[in-house]
Amino acid sequence: MPSGYMNYIEDELNKESVFKAEHVLSIDYVPRNLPHRGREMQILAQGFKSLITAPGQTSPRFIIEGPVGTGKTAVAKLLTEQIVEAAQRRGINLYKIHINCRVSKTMYLVYLRMLREFKPRFPRRGHSPHELLQVLVDVLDERDCYLLVVLDELDYFIRHNGADIIYDLTRLMDDRLNAPQRLSFIGIGREISLDRGLLDASTTSTLQRNILHFQKYSAPELYDILKERVDEAFIENAVLDETIQLICDIAAQHGDARYAIELLWRAGKQADREGARVVIPDFVRQAKADTHPELRKEVFLTLPMHNRLLLLAIARCLKDNREAYVTMGEVERIYHSVCEEYGEAPRAHTQVWEWIQDLSAHGVIDAKRSGAGHRGQTTLIGVSDVPAEMLERFLLDMIETT
């Protein structure tokens, strides 16, 4: 190779890294052990044990509630995996499905997703939600199968569609006289309101006894969680104990394990960028400037490209105005120039307005009607906790890398 040329790939491959298994820190990795969630795992195991000891005789239902990053999704994934494994060992046809209700946004889509697990080519159109559910039960009967469904992010779903889905799934089994119980579920959300008069009293009271509240993690609890990840993800002695301590102190303000793990990962990336062999506390401080507990990657990844462009417009508007809220008109103006920048045709006002409502219902932005002080009525848009500049950088990163 002529001198003066640089092979960037070889150079990158030759670089040493503080990581030995970086994927252990990725958002969808579920560890085999969840420190400080033993009690919760145990309660759920007790609640769902009958699926194996007496298949068809009961259909347990649970609700898991708790703040961001408290291990709700991780616990449900690990538990359902362990139940299915135990069922397989005993020759019971138990299946599990984990449904993200931010992605499957309507009852129809949730039921279709469940049904397609068994009939992958079931047509998308031509049936009502209830018909889909009935077909599903028939298939389960026909094949002598049982299904445990996890309805994750159910709080957003209920805010959009009401709580009928819980009623449907409960009644579906309760109404079957002498026929095997085929379907059980776990619903997950930050707060799931069952008592808005949407559910009948008996559905509500059975469920109320099966609500599990997850508490925020304390700093020492986060320490134990991080310590296990450090051992799995990093080469030996690459992360200083002070570094872990600092992450715990920062993340304990939110009690959020996801934020803690993200800080750990970013601090490691910073070490690699600087060619350092040790992850020092200062890398955590730098990582903290780049991320925010409200910026949940998996939420943004479920958003279509056009919603990301709209959010980018909102972030830029807020950054330029330095105000807590900007108007719909201002946002749309910037949205047009953002679309131009990315070579996309901007969508019409009514569509954009719908997206704003949708993003607001998903808790990604704050949208409210203007009060006095604004000429006429308009929609005001803000983002609650995240600095606009950080949101902008986060979105740019996501738009360019995914």
Ligand X SMILES: Nc1ncnc2c1ncn2[C@@H]1O[C@H](COP(=O)(O)OP(=O)(O)OP(=O)(O)O)[C@@H](O)[C@H]1O
Which of 150, 328 has the CB closer to ligand X?
Answer: 150
Which of 182, 229 has the CB closer to ligand X?
Answer: 229
Outline where DSSP puts E strands in 52-123: 61-65, 94-100
Element containing residue 43 per DSSP (H, E): helix 38-48
**Shortest distance, position 396 Cβ to ligand X, whole Å:** 23
362 binds, among Mg ion, ligand X, none (CB under 5 to 8 A by kind): none
61 close to 170: Cβ distance less than 8 angstroms: yes
**Shortest distance, position 373 Cβ to ligand X, whole Å:** 35
Contact call for residue 194 and ligand X (CB under 6 A): no
Outline where DSSP puts E strands in 28-173: 61-65, 94-100, 146-152
Two tokens at 7?
């092979």
148 close to 186: Cβ distance less than 8 angstroms: yes
**Shortest distance, position 95 Cβ to ligand X, whole Å:** 21
Q: Which of residues 289-328 bind ligand X (CB under 6 A)?
A: 296
**Shortest distance, position 17 Cβ to ligand X, whole Å:** 21
Which positions ≥6 away from 5 have C-beta within 8 Å? Answer: none
25 binds, among Mg ion, ligand X, none (CB under 5 to 8 A by kind): none
**Shortest distance, position 76 Cβ to Mg ion, whole Å:** 8
Q: How many residues bind ligand X (CB under 6 A)?
A: 20
Contact call for residue 363 and ligand X (CB under 6 A): no
190 binds, among Mg ion, ligand X, none (CB under 5 to 8 A by kind): ligand X
How far is it, in rounded angstroms, from Cα 345 to Cα 394? 23
Q: Give the one residue of 92, 257, 271, 284 binding ligand X; rule: CB under 6 A.
A: 257
Phi and psi at 340, nearest 5°, equal -60, -45
74 binds, among Mg ion, ligand X, none (CB under 5 to 8 A by kind): ligand X
Two tokens at 10?
């070889």
Nearest residue to ligand X, by Cβ distance, number only: 71
Which of 192, 367 has the CB closer to ligand X?
Answer: 192
Which of 43, 299 has the CB closer to Mg ion?
Answer: 299
382 binds, among ligand X, Mg ion, none (CB under 5 to 8 A by kind): none
Q: Which residues bind Mg ion (CB under 5 A)?
A: 73
Which positions ≥6 away from 285 have C-beta within 8 Å? Answer: 246
Q: Give the one residue of 18, 24, 34, 388 binding ligand X; rule: CB under 6 A.
A: 34
139 close to 88: Cβ distance less than 8 angstroms: no
Which of 40, 117 has the CB closer to ligand X?
Answer: 40
**Shortest distance, position 72 Cβ to ligand X, whole Å:** 3
Two tokens at 368?
């409210």
Phi and psi at 63, nearest 5°, equal -120, 130
Contact call for residue 78 and ligand X (CB under 6 A): no
- Cβ neighbours, 10 Å, residue 126: 7
Contact call for residue 68 and ligand X (CB under 6 A): yes
How far is it, in rounded angstroms, from Cα 268 to Cα 341? 33
Alpha helices in 180-237 (DSSP H): 201-208, 219-233
Which of 172, 284 has the CB closer to ligand X?
Answer: 284
Which of 31, 329 has the CB closer to ligand X?
Answer: 31
How far is it, in rounded angstroms, from Cα 223 to Cα 203? 39
Which of 66, 346 has the CB closer to Mg ion?
Answer: 66
How far is it, in rounded angstroms, from Cα 116 to Cα 315? 38
Angle of helix 349-361 versus helix 305-321 axis, rounded to 10:
80
- Cβ neighbours, 10 Å, residue 46: 10
Contact call for residue 129 and ligand X (CB under 6 A): no
In DSSP terms, which residues pair with 100 in a beta bridge?
152
Which of 190, 288 has the CB closer to ligand X?
Answer: 190
258 binds, among Mg ion, ligand X, none (CB under 5 to 8 A by kind): ligand X
CB-count exposure of residue 217 (10 Å: 0-12, 13-18, 19+): buried
Contact call for residue 49 and ligand X (CB under 6 A): no
308 binds, among Mg ion, ligand X, none (CB under 5 to 8 A by kind): none
**Shortest distance, position 297 Cβ to ligand X, whole Å:** 11
List contacts with ligand X (CB under 6 A): 30-31, 34-37, 66, 68-74, 190, 225, 257-258, 261, 296
